[in-house]
Structure 1
Amino acid sequence: MLEQGRYRTLEAIDAEGGIEMAKMYQPDMIIMDILMPGLNGFQATRILRKDPLTRAIPIVIISGSEQATEQYWSLRLGANDFIAKPIRRGELFQKVERHLAQREQAVLGTTTAASPLGTGL
């Protein structure tokens, strides 16, 4: 879906691979499911937030559950946002654009809009 929106993406098959990719490639944003092989999204978020190389990367958690507890723990453990499945295209792009713009402002100290060709994970 994001590739159709002109974003470059990287994909990992599990949380451990995603964490290593985040350290190596420093993506503009990380989007991950709570349920993954190996570590879950909560554990991966905790690890990413503790690492100086990845702590500032925006994280959006995706879950098939709309329970308030999943959203609460996602945000409490350091995720920037939460999206419930099924993923609605408009909601996804709105959140991606918002978090990329906020990251660019934080990195550059400007109010310039984010480039649609940012990288993601």
Structure 2
Amino acid sequence: MARILIVDDSPTELHKLTDILERQGHQVLKADNGADGVALARQEKPDAVLMDIVMPGLNGFQATRQLAKDPETSAIPVIIVTAKDQETDKVWGTRQGAREYITKPLEEGALLRTLAAVLAG
């Protein structure tokens, strides 16, 4: 299956997302902040990234923008997964390079459908 990088500073969210993805046979990589997420994406070249927004230091919008602008990582689809559910946040996330935007609390089926669509291109 796919290699998915989860970038989220919440241990609870990391655990929940890891459980969902591993049950589907995906390999999971994890980072608990934006800077580490960008570095890990550059190093490991995952098939997709699940990116939280609100994190200390480099936030998810900034990390998504760095991945989208870097020729080495621009082809890696980023799905923003966040509790920020305002339309302006969704528009801004897309402008930073995110392919999809999902709000928490997560519905497992919606996450898996979105991930499958992004991986299929």
Q: TM tier, shorter chain? A: 0.7 to 0.9
2:54 pairs with 1:35: yes
Deviations 1:45-78 (A, max 9, x none): 1111111110110000011121101111001111
Aligned to 1:79, what secondary structure does the other structure show? Answer: coil
- What is the CA–CA distance in structure 1 between the aligned matches of 2:23 and 2:86, rounded to whole Å? 29
**Is 1:76–2:86 an aligned residue pair?**
no
- Whole-angstrom distance in 2 between the partners of 1:47 and 1:65: 20
1:51 and 2:76 correspond: no
Larger Rg: 1
The 2-side partners of 1:65 and 1:26 are apart by 27
RCO greater where, 1 or 2, for CA within 8 Å and sep 6 or more?
A: 1
Q: Which residue of 1 aligns with 2:12?
A: none
Instruction: Report the Cα distance in structure 2 between the residues aligned to 1:65 and 1:54, rounded to whole angstroms.
Output: 25
Which is strand-richer, 1 or 2?
2
Unaligned runs of 5+ residues in structure 2 are: 1-19
Q: Following TM superposition, where does structure 1 have runs of at least 4 consecutive aligned residues deviating by more than 3 angstroms?
A: none
1:12-40 deviation line (CA, Å, top 9, x unaligned): 01111111110111000011101112111
Task: Tell me the amino acid that sits aligned with residue 26 of structure 1.
Answer: K
Cα deviation 1:85-105 (Å, max 9, x = unaligned): 001000000011111111xxx
Tell me, which stretches of 5 or more residues in structure 1 are unaligned?
103-121
Work out whether 1:87 is the aligned partner of 2:100.
no
Query: In the alignment, what sits opposite 1:20?
Result: 39
Q: TM-score, normalised by structure 2?
A: 0.81
CA RMSD across the alignment? 0.8
